[in-house]
Amino acid sequence: MPQAAASLDLARTARLCRALADENRLRIIEMLGAGERCVCELTVALDLGQSLLSHHLKTLKDAGLVTDRREGRWVYYTLSCDTLDDLGGAIEALAPAVGAGRSEDCCK
């Protein structure tokens, strides 16, 4: 992979990790794992104020981790499984290969 593409992938991975680096956002992702949810359901289940929940949902949406759709006055949120799969692959690629140990020069 060219250096520019690798840096872009790392930048995207970092952005996704930052979006997930909050307990409330992880709780939202966990709830959406069971399927689409109305914002009103999320508000009640997570016991968050509307403003704080909106902030968290915007962060997740801007990162591409969730999508939304409007139906009347309600907004429904769904996980973006492709983005989560991409993130899982990127994290997996960072793991050392099976049987790989430290290099001889490491940590001296």
The 10s digit of each residue's pLDDT in 55-103 is 999 999 999 999 999 999 999 999 999 999 999 988 888 887 666 666 6
Main-chain phi, psi angles of 13, to 5 degrees: -60, -45
The 10s digit of each residue's pLDDT in 28-37 is 999 999 999 9
Q: Specify the pairing of strand 37-38 against strand 74-79.
A: antiparallel
Per DSSP, helices labelled H in 1-108 are 3-20, 23-32, 39-46, 50-62, 81-94
| Residues β-bridged to residue 77 | 37, 68
Residues 6+ apart with CB under 8 A from 69: 75, 76, 78
